[in-house]
Amino acid sequence: MLKYSGQIRLLVAVDCIILGFDGEGYKILLIQRGFAPEKKKWSLMGGFVQPQESVDEAASRILGELTGLKSVYLEQLHTFGAPGRDPVERTIAVAYFALIDIQKYEKQLSKEYHAEWFPLKEMPELIFDHSQMVEMAKNRLRYKAALHPILFELLPEKFTLPQLQALYEGLYDTTFDKRNFNRKLLSTGLFVKQKDKDKDSSKKGAFFFKLDQGKYLNNFQAFLKFIPNPEKFLVP
Residue numbers at the binding site for a second copy (CB under 8 A): 1-4, 7-12, 48-56, 58, 76, 78-83, 88-92, 94, 144, 147-148, 220-224, 230-231, 234-236
Evaluate whether 14 touches 63 at the Cβ level (below 8 Å): no
Cβ closer to a second copy: 39 or 199? 39
- Tell me the C-alpha to C-alpha distance, in Å, between residue 107 and each of 38, 42, 172: 28, 21, 28
**CA dist., res. 118 & res. 22, Å (int):** 11
Applying CB under 7 A, which part among 25-33, 35-43, 129-137, 224-232 lies near DNA? Answer: 224-232
| Residue 111 contact, options a second copy, DNA, none, Cβ 5-8 Å cut-off depending on partner type | none
Q: Which of residues 123-182 bind DNA (CB under 7 A)?
A: 160-162, 177-180, 182
The one segment of 11-19, 48-56, 144-152, 205-213 that binds DNA by CB under 7 A: 205-213
Q: Select 211 or 234, whichever has its Cβ closest to a second copy.
A: 234
CA distance to 18, 105, 121, 164, per residue, from 216 (Å): 22, 22, 30, 15
Count of other CB atoms within 10 angstroms of residue 12 = 16
Strand-pair category, 206-211 with 158-160? antiparallel
206, interface contact from DNA, a second copy, none, CB < 5-8 Å by kind: DNA
Handedness of CA 202, 99, 33, 170 (dihedral sign): negative
Min dist CB 178 to DNA, Å, is 5
Task: Decide if residue 104 touches DNA (CB under 7 A).
Answer: no
Judged by CB under 7 A, does residue 202 bind DNA?
Answer: yes
Contact 59, 133 (CB under 8 A): no
Q: Are 190 and 215 contacting, i.e. CB atoms less than 8 angstroms apart?
A: yes
Residue 81 binding target from a second copy, DNA, none, CB below 5 to 8 Å by type: a second copy
Cα distances from 21 to residues 99, 190, 202, 236, in angstroms, run: 8, 20, 19, 23
Out of 34, 82, 197, 235, which residue is the one contacting DNA (CB under 7 A)? 197
Binding at 127: pick from DNA, a second copy, none (beta carbon under 5-8 Å per type): none
Length of the chain as a residue count: 236
Closer to a second copy at the Cβ: 118 or 143? 143
**Measured from the CB atom, is 48 or 108 closer to a second copy?**
48
Query: Binding DNA by CB under 7 A: which of 4, 51, 204, 231?
Result: 204
- DSSP character for 126? B
Q: Which residues bind DNA (CB under 7 A)?
A: 160-162, 177-180, 182-184, 197, 199, 201-207, 225, 228-229
